[in-house]
Amino acid sequence: MSVSPLLVIIGAPLLGVLALLFRVPGRLVALGSTGLMCVGALWAAACMPAAGGMQYRQGFDWLEAGGIRVTMGLGVDGFSLPFVILTCVVALAAVLATPRNMPRAAEFYACLLLIAAGAAGSFLATDLVFLYIFHELALVPTFLGIGIWGDGPRRVFVTFQTVVYLMAGSMVLLAGILGLLWALRAASGVAVVSTDLVALRDLAAAHAPGMAAQRWVFGFLLIGFGTLVGLFPFHTWAPRAYAVAPAPIAMLHAGVLKKFGIYGLIRVGLAVLPSGADAWREWLLVLLLGNILVIGWAAVQQKQLNDMLGYSSVMHMGYLFLGVAAGTNLGLTGVALLSVGHGLSIAGLFAVSGMVLERSGTLAMGQLGGIASRLPTLGFAFSVLGLASIGLPGLANFAGEISILFGSWGAHGDLSWGPMPALSWGVVAAAFGLILSAVYMLRATKAVFFGPGGSVEVEAGPIPMAWRASVFILIGCLLVVGMAPAGLSMAASSGLAEWLGGVAR
Amino acid sequence: MPGALWWLLLLLPIGSALLITAVLRPYRVASAAVSVFSAGACFMLAVWGVASGAAAPEPVAWLRASDWVVMVAMMLDPLAEVMLLVVTGVGFVIHVFSLGYMSDDPGRSRFFGGLSLFMFSMTGIVVSGNLVMTFIFWELVGVSSYLLIGFWFERPSAAAAANKAFIVNRIGDFGFLLGILAVWGTLGDLGFGPLRAKIEAGALDTAPWLPVFLMALGLFCGAVGKSAQVPLHVWLPDAMEGPTPVSALIHAATMVAAGVYFLCRVFFLIEMSVPALDVIAWTGGATALVAALIAVRQDDIKRVLAYSTVSQLGYMVMAVGLAAPAAAMFHLCTHAFFKALLFLAAGSVIHALHHQQDIWKMGGLRTAMPVTFWTFAAGALALAGCPGLSGFFSKEAILEAAHETASPLLWLGLLTAFLTAFYMSRLAMVAFFGEGRERRAREAKESPAVMVVPLVVLAVLSVVGGGLGIYGVLRGEAAAADAEGHGWLVPALSFLVFAAGVGTGAWLYRDRERDPLRLGALRDKLYFDEVYGATVVAANGRLAQFWDWFDHFVISSLFVRGTGLVAGGVGNACRFLQGVGASGYAFLFAAGAALLLLWAAVR
Amino acid sequence: MSPGLLHYLAVSGLIFLIGLAGVVVRRNIIVVYMCLELMLAAGVLAMVVFSRFLGQTDGQVFVFFIITVAAAEVAVGLALIVALFRARRTTRLDELNTLRF
Amino acid sequence: MDATFFEWVLFWTLAVGAVGFALLVVAGRSPVSSALSLACSMVFGAGLMVQLRAYFIAAVQVLVYAGAVIVLFLFIIMLMDLRAEVGRRRGALGLLAVAVVCVSMAVAGWRALAPLAGGGGPPPAAPDEVRQFGRLLFADNVLPLEVTGVLLLVVMVGVVVLCRPGGADGERGRP
């Protein structure tokens, strides 16, 4: 097991958690390990060849039973690189954004590091089972984080609901995975199915399971991943969880962990069950329009800042699903870009709302107001991050959204002069969603930050340097990716072309 | 000039904007200097580049997927060069003016940061070489106008106006984006050059009329949003909440003209659909008339100029609709000069009267602020269409185009010209003639040199603008020759209308304390805001409430909590099985045995 | 034609059912216990009947053991009932529900 | 009137007796009467066995079962001086349910055993039936015999422990 960037990325947080067991100052350890993660991510990015195939493959056989062989394998390719970078940057930002007077700080940092390790692991795992395991590893500390350090009247109920909801989602996903393995074994007749993703994809390409099996298994995968991401009817846990969660946990979960569902759907769903994806396309289109329009309008109506941010995060998932529904190389590259952009911007927004809560004690938009005049840094940060999240060109989200819209326009349908294919109507609705996102984000910015001043007394005083650094890092990355997305987009698109082979038109 | 230097046109302003926001925020003088320097340098670069005829630099790939690429490319043809000179020139002049105007404002560095961001985005639109790049800078311009309108964000009205501007622009961008997607879907390319080549090669000839019409309409949507045409014009008058240099630069000279410039840029595409041209022409005409009517009855000096801008933009869009893009661009250039001048003059008046904007509180400024008055008069006459000044030539060119196609728009244009002359003379009489109605008006003093010099420069440009041969450059030298022999009808009519307008205005408003005309409807902006409020905004609110209720009660309460309750219920129901006591157990045991026996017997 | 196998089995079945009904219906634990013995006796009777009709005496040996075990069981059961009675001061079955939900 | 008629009369009296007294056990008001009717039922059962010429088992049943067990019951009842059951009878619904269960079992049993109908009486008893029984018991099944013996020993010790004044758990010396 030579020392490779992937080991650094996953090892650093896990070692950090171990170090936290001894009486080591928590913040120092957390900063150290997330810093190391970023170094590992940059190292991986630097040495990523243009070919985009799976790099740094390493792993060992972990289990062989019941007809499946599970290998604990790590690897990164062009498509998973953006997600890994996102994980490391948001992890560092989350640690920095943690207030110094956090009760039981060591345990809190341990939770953060575990989430980071789990998320990074799930993006680096080249094995279907480990993809699932790492995600579950990341989910547990999220529940602890929300339950213990959360605030708000219905904290316990919300934690309970979130746990049960996400567990249900995971179970459906597990059913999907098992169905997938079973269908493949039935179709290919091979005795032992290796759950290595590359092997699975090749096996599925050789012996594609029957249409009915593909439809059922993809359905389970879609509902499972959808619940974890917040697909329309299965999204109700997200806004409530973020409204109650402490800022760093919300940053990490909304920013990074929610992308696991989309990443998984593309990595497993589209690659192994292409005709399953075709069967579900119309249904997915309807659901994601629910995401964009229904949640968009619901976001306009929210009274609490964190609720609004939660709804906006769920709404942007609609765009990611549009990219997945299109399945074209361009659309999926857009999904990678928008995931990075959305991750960074929503993390920043939660950091700001965390600070607003700390300084004013409430997040009710009706009572807040005029914070920009008393805390200019907060006002500036929220404006920039808000504008980024509604797709201001020059910041990362726009590059993603424009690629998704172009990628989905006319996918799976001819574009000559006949009637527009279904997906194009989806694009029209998604474009309308841009207006909705502008409405609710600017309404919130005006209500909380502009104007003379709210009924709540806001404690002025200097903003801690660590918090400024966290927001500065996020905005910096948004600008870098936004100004020059060619680097990430080429890596992602070549990775996808290699991974989806003939599937992505 | 080497081609690569063109990139400086974009890098300088964005560099200064980032520098100011990141580093120079606390140092107000330094940030102002950096911003003015970058505006001046851009203007110099533009002049040097246009003079030396430098070629556009190599395009750079901004976003690339497997086969789809968005290039950052520059396209510098006569149309772009003229617009570039106007944008950078007027921009620089207004930067200098802002030094004085914003001198006592605490947030000055933030203001200049916003201005630099705006210059970056506006220059981007002018030099853009493909549709997506235009869309990118389109949104950036919208954001910079949002930031600058909401500059004094403490004022709720300013914050609301900024939101309104951005959202209405976003609605326009929605249509614009769909237009771009349609073009890309059917023609498969985004760059203006390749698109023009494909169309000239007959790509659209076989196409049915509806898609081409919708495509052209989509692109026009962008212009409607940005250039404040009738349905989406409501944001421009509210944008006056921003500082006056912002109104001058963004909401008079450059940004609002971006829509017209873009229409001229993609004219080769729009003209393929005749019904689209008619829609554009009539939208322009309607906007011109409606805005002129409303302007007649406005009391705030900046609101009058704002509606006048909307009206003139209507003129330009009408010209494009009448298949005369060159006339539209000519009017755009002259309008940029005298409208910027009028706004700056208004700014100078407001600055002198300590932020008093109601014209009925002014008066007698002719003697108190002579230079401002004379420059204002030059601009007003140019706008009203006084023969010999720039406004006359450009407006006459548009009316000429209407006359050629014998469309009823000619008479509508003349009526609007009359109204324009009328409200400008009203404004001049009430604000500048007679004696000061208020203490502040009587004690007004002339503005400092740094504000007056730009006024003079713009006044000179307004006066001589018509003769600079801009029109010739725009239409290409060949067509310049036959421009003159157009017959006397249109020039005579436009002079007649000008004289009538100024005359009635002067006669009606000499030494008045109140506005003699009632026309309440016009004062209340023809109730556009109330209508929108009752329909669009209310509908959005109700939809939001419904979907929030739906999401909260139907999905999260009914389905999610519902399944929870069902599970609890079933659990409860089965509980009786366990807790019946000893004899109950015996009974169940016996019942089970009986069932087994029965099953065994029956099978 | 003298009484056949079926008749004897019918008698033992009847006794068995009566015992079963007793166990379920009665509340007093002693009577329940007796009904249990009744069911056992029915079982013994059936065993004897089968062993005689099949002509083998194995059945009867088996019955012998059954009776021994039954006796042992009665002894233990009654001892339990006595201990129970001492601890709870009641023999009503319904009140003995501490183990119940 | 031949021999079978006499057999039928004997069979019916014994059967009715056994079933009747079994009913009495269940329906009896006081436990004492239930115990006695249980004894009678056992005796009639033994009678049936005698009719089947299984004399040894009949004797064992009467001796061990009817004698010792029932006496033990009476002894315990006396020890705990139970009064007649005062609680209310089981609800009608309960009775109905039990009746349904019993009837269904009866029907199921009848359906299962129906093919066995017919066939005459039991074959004649072997003359040395008891000797044969002894050989079986002490030759073939000697191990179960010894185990049963041990079982009885264990039971005796258990009963003694259970009924000691300390009660089942011993340390709480309650009366």
* Coil vs helix vs strand at B61: strand
- pLDDT band with cut points at 50, 70 and 90 for residue D169: low
Angle at B311 between CA B309 and CA B317, to 5 degrees: 100
CA count, 13 A, side-chain hemisphere, B5: 16
**Which among C13, C52, C75 has CB closest to D159?**
C75
Higher pLDDT, D132 or B59: B59
Structure tokens at B108: 């000055």
* B359 secondary structure, DSSP code: G
Judged by CB atoms within 8 Å, which residues 53-92 of C form the interface with D? 53, 55, 57-58, 60-61, 63-65, 67-72, 74-76, 78-83, 85-87, 91-92
D51 and D13 Cβ atoms separated by less than 8 Å: no
Residue range D3-125 forms a domain whose CATH class is mainly alpha
Residue C93 forms part of a structural domain: no
Q: Do A161 and B559 touch (CB under 8 A)?
A: no
Residue A348 in this model has a pLDDT that exceeds 80: yes
pLDDT at res. B126: 92
**C21 and chain D in contact, CB less than 8 A:** yes
D96 touches chain B (CB under 8 A): no
Does residue C98 sit at the B interface (CB-CB below 8 Å)?
Answer: no
Least confident of A268-272, B345-349, D88-92: D88-92
Report the pLDDT averaged over residues D57-76: 86
Determine, for residues B132 and A402 on separate chains, whether the beta-carbon distance falls below 8 Å.
Answer: yes
Is C98 part of any domain?
no
Residue C65 lies in a domain: yes
Asked if residue C76 belongs to a domain, the reply is: yes
Which of residues C6 and A345 earns the better pLDDT score? A345
Chain C residues in contact with B578 (beta carbon < 8 A): 101
pLDDT at site B250: 82
Cβ–Cβ contacts within 10 Å for residue A422, how many? 15
Residues of C in contact with D141 (CB under 8 A): 61, 65
Q: Are strands A193-194 and A68-76 parallel, antiparallel or unpaired?
A: parallel
Confidence of residue A135 (pLDDT cuts 50, 70, 90): very high
Q: Give the chain C residue nearest D17 (alpha carbons).
A: C11
The domain locations on chain D are 3-125, 126-175
How far C101 CA sits from the closest chain D CA (Å)? Answer: 21
Among the partner-chain residues B140, B147, B167, the one whose CB lies closest to the CB of A438 is: B167
Q: What is the DSSP string of A218-267?
A: HHHHHHHHHHHHT-GGG-THHHHHHHHS-HHHHHHIIIIITHHHHHHIII
Question: Which among C24, C100, C101 is the nearest to B586, CB-wise?
Answer: C24
pLDDT, tens digit, for every residue of A273-303?
Answer: 888 888 898 899 999 998 899 999 999 988 8
A406-455 pLDDT, tens digit each:
988 877 766 666 667 778 888 899 999 999 999 999 999 998 888 887 78
Range of the structural domain that residue C84 is part of: 5-88
Cα separation, A343 vs A262, whole angstroms:
13
Regarding chains C and B, contact by 3 or more CB pairs under 8 A is answered as: yes
Q: Which amino acid is present at A101?
A: N
CB A252 within 8 A of CB A285: no
**Which value, to the nearest 10 degrees, does the dihedral of the CA atoms of residues B185, B187, B190, B192 take?**
-150
Is B137 in Cβ contact with A393 (below 8 Å)? Answer: yes
Chain D environment of B593 (Cβ under 8 Å): 105
In this model, does residue A375 exceed pLDDT 50?
yes
Question: Contacts of residue C80 in chain D, CB cutoff 8 Å?
Answer: 162, 168
Amino acid identity, position B564:
G
Kindly list the residues from chain B whose CB atom is less than 8 angstroms away from the CB atom of residue D87: none
Report yes or no: A193 and A67 within 8 Å, Cβ to Cβ.
yes
C94 domain-assigned = no
> Which two tokens mark A441?
């984000």
Query: For position A113, what pLDDT does the model report?
Result: 94
- Please name the residue that has the structure tokens 């605490």: B106
D84 touches chain B (CB under 8 A): no
Which residue in this structure is represented by tokens 């057999």?
D7
CA distance B407 to D8: 126
**Contact residues on chain D for B591, CB-CB shorter than 8 A:** 97, 101
pLDDT for B385: 85
Among A314, A312, A147, CA closest to A244:
A147
> Inter-chain contact D117–C4, Cβ cutoff 8 Å?
yes
CB contact under 8 A, A398 and B174: no
Q: Is the pLDDT of residue A367 over 90?
A: no
Residue D85 has pLDDT above 70, yes or no: no
Quote the minimal CA–CA distance from A262 to chain B in Å.
19
D146 touches chain C (CB under 8 A): no
Chain B residues within 8 A of D111 when measuring between CB atoms: 601-602
Give A-chain residues touching B556 at CB under 8 angstroms: 236, 240
Q: Is the ipTM of this complex over 0.85?
A: no
Residue contact A297–B547, C-beta within 8 A: yes
Q: Look at A494 and B150 and tell me if their CB atoms are within 8 Å.
A: no
Of B575, B582, B583, nearest to C101 by CB-CB distance is B575
Identity at A435, one-letter amino acid code: I
The answer to whether the Cβ–Cβ distance between A449 and B540 falls below 8 Å is no
Taking the Cβ of residue D66 and every Cβ of chain C, the question of whether any pair is shorter than 8 Å is answered with no
Q: Mutate which of C16, C25, C93 to test chain D, going by most D C-beta atoms within 10 A?
A: C25
Inspect the interface and report whether the beta carbons of B601 and D107 lie closer than 8 Å. yes
Residue A87 CA to residue A81 CA, distance in Å, equals: 10
Cβ partners under 8 Å of residue B299, min gap 6: B358, B359, B360, B515, B523
Instruction: Kindly tell me whether chain D and chain A come into contact, counting contact as 3+ Cβ pairs under 8 Å.
Output: no
Residue in B with minimal Cα distance to C28: B583
The alpha carbon of residue D63 is apart from the nearest alpha carbon of chain C, in Å, by 11
| Domains in chain C, number | 1
The span from the CA of B433 to the CA of B367, in Å, is 8
Across the interface, which of A236, A300, A494 has its CB nearest the CB of B560? Answer: A236
pLDDT digits (tens, 9 = 90+) for A36-74: 999 999 988 888 776 667 777 777 888 888 788 888 888
Q: What is the DSSP letter of B128?
A: B
Partner residue facing A434 (CB), from B147, B174, B540: B174
Range in A28-42, A314-328, B258-272, D115-129 with the lowest mean pLDDT: D115-129
Q: What is the pLDDT of residue D163?
A: 81
* Three-state secondary structure of A52-116: CCCEEEEEEEEEEECCEEEEEEEEECCCHHHHHHHHHHHHHHHHHHCCCCCCCHHHHHHHHHHHH
Residue A434's pLDDT is 92
**D94: closest CA of chain C, how far (Å):** 8
Contact D11 C9 (CB under 8 A): no
The pLDDT value recorded for residue A278 is 87
User: Is A283 in contact with B529 (CB distance < 8 Å)?
Assistant: no
- Say whether the A–B interface has 3 or more Cβ pairs within 8 Å: yes
Q: Does residue C86 sit at the B interface (CB-CB below 8 Å)?
A: no
Asked if the Cβ–Cβ distance from B583 to C24 is below 8 Å, we say yes
Q: Which chains touch A (3 or more CB pairs under 8 A)?
A: B
Asked if the Cβ–Cβ distance from B578 to C101 is below 8 Å, we say yes
Cβ of residue C44 closer than 8 Å to a chain D Cβ: yes
Report the CATH number that the domain containing residue C12 is assigned in CATH: 1.10.287.3510
C101 part of a folded domain: no
pTM value? 0.83
D98 with C82: Cβ contact below 8 A:
no
B151-204 pLDDT, tens digit per residue, is 988 888 999 999 999 999 999 999 999 999 988 888 888 899 999 998 888 877
- pLDDT higher than 70, residue A360: yes
Residue A174: pLDDT band with limits 50, 70, 90: very high
Task: Give the ranges where chain C is alpha helix by DSSP (H).
Answer: 5-25, 29-53, 58-88
> What is the distance in angstroms between the Cα of B547 and the nearest Cα belonging to chain C?
45
Taking an 8 Å cut-off on Cβ atoms, the answer to whether D104 and B587 are in contact is no
Contact across the interface for C30 and D31, Cβ inside 8 Å: yes
- pLDDT band of A505, cuts 50, 70, 90: very low
**Between residues B527 and A222, which one has the greater pLDDT?**
A222
Residue B365 has a pLDDT of 84
CB contact under 8 A, B591 and D108: no
Residues of chain B with pLDDT under 50: 477-482
State pLDDT tens for residues D25-42. 988 888 888 889 999 999
| Predicted pLDDT of residue B39 | 93
- What are the residue ranges in chain C where pLDDT is below 70? 99-101
Lowest mean pLDDT, pick from A63-72, A135-144, A321-330:
A63-72
Tell me the C-alpha distance between B325 and B80, whole Å.
13
Please answer yes or no on whether B586 and C101 come within 8 Å at the CB atom: no
